[in-house]
């Protein structure tokens, strides 16, 4: 039985809790304890998930015997709990981004390596089946050598304004959204970022007291010569058809790939609501035998960590898990390097090395 804990029980932490509870019903693991510094949120989640709770992660780690911990605190607060857990020989699953500094990422990777524990990052776009088909096509050489392309990921303004106004100012569309696609493109291209040039726009969010970029436009050159542009923003209007608009285009010497990762083919329009699209491929809920069952790439990525711990308990080594779908700490580091270079380029107004 794999014993799990979760630190940070807000919006995304709830998806982790739902996933662990579902895997618990299937007999794979047990959710042992949860932690949030916000007592109100902690109490709500204790009631909902019928589990022991703590306001201090160190106390939770000391008192409970855990195999794995998931960390879904705001971006700058992934590092400390990771180091603490790793030094207690607990496997760690970190929400993206791994950390917002290169030093932090390296410290986390080294602590996990030293203690022989897994450091996994939630880059769930690898688990989207449409993306997996595209990856296969690329590997089979159907598109030929990829030359250029474009990526967009844009949230509705409700995300920075209403979902986490207290820490949106410390984040950006690059940290919150871009990292997903930097990882996906690295995964497709099997290449890391080499240099970037970027422009940032500050206007709408700043006018309502959230001092961060509305949008960032970045050109990223990868080590294999592929050049991609990224349009990242979080100011789409409230009545946009989905919470996130996302997709990409890749052009190679033998073909073109276009992927709409948002509109998966179902569009509805209702009085008083307007037009909406659905993306159940991300997270879908189905009620069976009085319980809600969750599926989708958002869930699979979280569950992958638990299956990986099972493999390790069954005698596999961490190196055996480097199977191309799991995103490791090293992937998190490469993504953070791209994100930092983009922010630096906006400030210097120059091309920057990744
Ligand atoms: N994978 C994805 O698609 C996805 C989507 C959204 C957010 N995220 C990431 O998940 C993380 C959390 O985002 P969110 O939207 O759930 O934020 P949130 O603000 O809803 O939740 C964060 C929670 O962490 C708690 N917290 C903060 N510091 C803590 C500490 N030291 N110990 C314990 N709890 C602490 C807060 O009280 C809060 O309840 C972020 O890193 C974010 O980038 C990932």
Q: Which CATH superfamily is domain 128-279+336-353 in?
A: Dihydrodipicolinate Reductase; domain 2 (3.30.360.10)
Q: What is the DSSP letter of 321?
A: G
CA of 148 to the centre of ligand 1 (A): 34
Give 328's DSSP letter: B
Helix (H) or strand (E) holding 132: helix 129-139
- Strand-pairing partners, residue 230, are 151, 218
- Interatomic CA distance for residues 65 and 48, integer angstroms: 22
pTM: 0.96
Residue ranges of the chain assigned to CATH 3.30.360.10 = 128-279+336-353
Unique residue bearing structure tokens 């080594």: 317
Interval 200-246: pLDDT, tens = 999 999 999 999 999 999 999 999 999 999 999 999 999 999 999 99
The predicted structure's pLDDT at residue 166:
87
Q: Is the pLDDT of residue 278 over 90?
A: yes
Q: Which of 5, 9, 11 to mutate to test the pocket of ligand 1 (most atoms within 8 A of CB)?
A: 11
* Short-list 30, 29, 36, CA closest to 7: 36
Q: Side-chain half-sphere of 348: how many Cα atoms within 13 Å?
A: 12
Residue nearest to atom 39 of ligand 1 (CA): 10
Spatial separation of the C-alpha atoms in residues 71 and 117, rounded to whole Å: 15
Mutation to probe ligand 1, out of 95, 121, 123, 179 (largest number of atoms < 8 A from CB): 95
Is the Cα dihedral 246, 247, 248, 249 positive or negative? Answer: negative
- What average pLDDT does the structure give for the chain? 97
Dist CA 142 CA 204 (whole Å): 42
Of residues 179, 125, 155, the one with CA closest to residue 296: 125
Choose the CATH number for 2-125+287-326 among 2.60.40.420, 1.10.260.30, 2.40.50.140, 3.40.50.720.
3.40.50.720
pLDDT value at residue 324: 78
Q: Is the pLDDT assigned to residue 33 strictly greater than 90?
A: yes
């Amino acid at each position: 039985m794999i014993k799990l804990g979760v630190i940070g029980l807000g919006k995304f932490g709830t998806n982790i809790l739902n996933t662990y509870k579902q895997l618990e019903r299937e007999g794979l693991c047990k959710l042992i304890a949860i932690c949030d510094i916000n007592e109100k949120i902690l109490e709500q989640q204790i009631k909902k998930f019928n589990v022991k709770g703590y306001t201090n992660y160190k106390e939770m780690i000391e008192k409970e015997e855990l195999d794995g911990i998931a960390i879904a605190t705001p971006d700058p607060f992934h590092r400390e709990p990771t180091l603490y857990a790793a030094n207690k020989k607990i496997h760690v699953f970190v929400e993206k981004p791994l950390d917002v500094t290169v030093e932090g990422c390296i410290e986390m990777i080294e602590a996990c390596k030293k203690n022989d524990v897994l450091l996994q990052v939630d880059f769930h776009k690898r688990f989207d089946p449409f993306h997996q088909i595209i990856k296969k096509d690329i590997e089979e050489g159907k598109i030929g050598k990829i030359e250029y392309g474009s990526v967009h990921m844009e949230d509705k303004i409700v995300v920075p304004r209403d979902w986490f106004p207290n820490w949106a100012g410390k984040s950006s569309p690059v940290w919150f959204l871009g990292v997903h696609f930097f990882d996906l493109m690295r995964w497709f291209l099997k290449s890391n970022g080499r240099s970037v040039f970027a422009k940032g726009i500050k206007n709408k969010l700043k006018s309502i007291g959230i001092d961060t970029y509305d949008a960032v436009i970045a050109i990223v050159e990868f080590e294999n010569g592929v050049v991609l542009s990224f349009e990242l923003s979080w100011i789409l209007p409230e009545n946009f058809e989905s919470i996130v608009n996302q997709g990409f285009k890749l052009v190679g010497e033998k073909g073109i790939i276009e992927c709409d990762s948002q509109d998966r083919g179902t569009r509805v329009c209702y009085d008083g609501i307007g037009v909406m699209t659905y993306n159940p491929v991300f997270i879908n809920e189905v009620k069976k035998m009085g319980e809600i069952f969750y599926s989708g790439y958002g869930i699979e990525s979280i569950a992958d960590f638990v299956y990986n711990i099972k493999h390790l308990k069954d005698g596999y080594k961490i190196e055996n898990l480097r199977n191309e779908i799991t995103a490791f700490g090293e992937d998190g580091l490469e993504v953070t390097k791209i994100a930092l270079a983009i922010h630096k380029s906006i400030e210097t107004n120059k091309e920057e090395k990744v």
